[in-house]
Chains A and B, each alone.
Chain A
Amino acid sequence: MSYKNFERYIKDTFTSKEEAIDVDGIMAAVDASRNSTSRKPFFVLGLVFIFACSMSIYYLNNEPATSINLVESDSDISDNIIHNSTISHQKESAIDVIENEVEHLSVHNKAVETPSSNFQSKLNFNAIVESKSSNDNALKINDLTEISETKPSAFQHDYQYPTRIIHDNFDETDILNTKETINNVTFAKDQVIAYKSLNTKSIKHTLNSLINTPETQNILSLPNSVECPNFGSNPWMFEVGTILGVSDPIKRFSINPQELNPALTSRADNEKSLEGLDLEFFLSAKRMRWPVFVKSGIAYSRWTERMNLNRDFTEIDTVQGIVSATVSQTGDTLTYIYGDIYIEKDIQIRRRVHYYINRLNIPLSVVYEHEFGQNAIQAELGASFNIRTFSAGSIYSSEDTFTNVNLGNFFNSLTGVSYFSKLHYRRYFNEHVFLGGIAHFHYLPAEFSSQTSFSQKYLNYGVSIYSGYRF
């Protein structure tokens, strides 16, 4: 037989070889892979969506304060007469001049809201000092959001009253409330303001001039004890947000004394808990000015266990063969000695395998919050109700065998109630958006093992960061 034939013989021998397989096991692995693959895109999309929402909310709430929605450009508003203006002072020193009465605003053209960014065109806003009855074309106070700046020369009376800023959604009631609250900064009645040739280029200039008036300086120096009016009627406030964190699961592993399983001993010695990942979406409901509120949501955590298998042993194989052969001196006799041949092999096994415990929980907690300025600290106590525990990966089961953790049914699918405490620090970037950090500790009394041969319980502590939106 030529060498080529020898290789063909090897190929035929190997390709024709068949061995029994565990079809069900393979199909189970295929199904498990399919499920995990189908979940991944939703998980990633969910994260991206939440991140995008958080960032959008953050940026939307941090638009420049000069954003103004105002009357249409190029529209002449003449014969506007404004009486009795009140200046209210907000906590952040924003200066709003609120009209108590806008009795006679006649508009030649219809008022239209215009974004400040497009506010390039001239805005001719002529307000003439006169008193007359209202008419159908009166410009309602709600039609105006913010108006800044008039030319000082436009005032026809000796009192110069340069500006007015009107917030969105103010109604008559709001104005009256404001008047009552801050009546000490109400200007004398019948003071009339005239506006002429108002345009956007001079808005900043007017704001500066406003701030520099004695009246506004008084307002700016109002003591902090002056409480801003609350125009909202809903006493409840809600928060939604996302928490992302890492944790260090502390495993408590014990072996049933009646079990003599070296694999369990090896697991106890060599299996190590790695860092865990936590993801939570929360919703909280808080009553205004109450320091305590309730919080819930849905939480996912993933813990990883790593097993390092190090086994060194010697394996002796015995084969039978010709131990020696001798040829007689005459060369006509060949003597074979047939017997056992021992082949000794030193075998080292080094293997590192992981399995994962995934938990889906519904946390329910009570939070105490203490705010100081734009910062707050919170103490949270609660219970977490497990709705699903699922595991994946391979677990060390015997000698040098690792078993699919699902096929072996090693862990419970429900792990009951756990208890947690959290300490938060958060910072409010505006009235809606906040970011924070958490240190937390979890106590999980439930048994994770579904087998009687060993017990596996956990404690868990970690840190997280979060962002949220308050409304």
Chain B
Amino acid sequence: MKNIDEIIKRCLKGDRKSQTQLVAHFGPKLLPLCKRYTKDAHLAQDALQDTFINVFRYLANFKGKGVFDAWIRRIAVNCSLNVIKKSTFHYHSISDNGEYILPSVDAEIYESLDYEDLLEILQELPPIYYMVFNMYVIEGFDHKEIGEMLNIGESTSRSNLSRARKKLVDILKKKPHFSKNLAV
């Protein structure tokens, strides 16, 4: 991978090869991000396409302030949120009939959880908690930014994050995976 600044310059000149390089470099990282927000593979694809459409449309606006990676991730988050707003797609987990043993919580167990486990746990958060948690903890946005992007108040974002953290721990305590790992 060449220097990203060089690729951006060539992209701005309309060099298709560099544009393809940019997509190939950032696309694989952004697709999981889009999936995390949209919770649907097809909507994530749509969001990813929108992301790159916007990236190439507004690339000239990237002044080099901050990291390009953060800039492009922010666009991806916005596009994912837009896709969710546009779509009437609903995905409800209505019932969960499993029987669980609820072991006590031990922090060392977290390390054994992989990507899929963590995603599954996070997706059990109520939607607004899930969004705020993702945006604050993973993407690193502050509460003001989150409030603007989700159209909620800054304080609401802050309280949602606190509740999300508490809820997350509760979910973890209830997870069979957790019990399994504890038993090993």
Taking Cβ atoms with an 8 Å cutoff, the residues of A that contact B are 1-3, 5-7, 9-11, 13-15, 17-23, 25-27, 29-30, 33-34, 37, 319-325, 336, 341-352, 400-402
Contacts and interface: CB of A to CB of B under 8 A. Distances in A.
A343 B98 CA distance: 5
Interface string B91-120: 111111111110000011011001100110
Contacts of B49: 25-26, 29-30
Interface of B: 16, 19-20, 23-24, 27-29, 31-33, 35-36, 42, 45, 48-49, 52-53, 56-57, 87-101, 107-108, 110-111, 114-115, 118-119, 122, 137-138, 140, 165, 169, 176-177, 179-180, 183
Given A13-B114, A350-B90, A352-B88, 9 more contacts: A1-B108, A10-B122, A18-B28, A21-B24, A21-B48, A22-B45, A323-B99, A344-B97, A345-B93
Chain B's interface: helix, strand, loop or mixed, by majority?
helix
B38 to A, nearest CB: 12
Contacts of B24: 21, 23
B145 to A, nearest CB: 16
A350 B88 contact: yes
Contacts of B169: 3
In the A-B complex, the 9 residue pairs with the closest CB atoms = A321-B176, A21-B27, A18-B28, A1-B107, A29-B49, A17-B32, A346-B94, A33-B53, A341-B98
Contact of A18 (B29, B56, B99): B29
A321 B177 contact: yes
A349 B39 CA distance: 12
13 contacts: A1-B110, A11-B137, A14-B118, A29-B53, A37-B57, A322-B176, A323-B101, A324-B101, A341-B99, A342-B98, A345-B95, A347-B92, A348-B92
A320 B138 CA distance: 29
Contacts of A343: 96-98
A63 B33 CA distance: 64
Given A1-B108, A10-B137, A10-B138, A400 B115 contact: no
B98 A2 contact: no
A4 to B, nearest CB: 10
B138 to A, nearest CB: 5
A23 B18 CA distance: 12
A348 B89 CA distance: 8
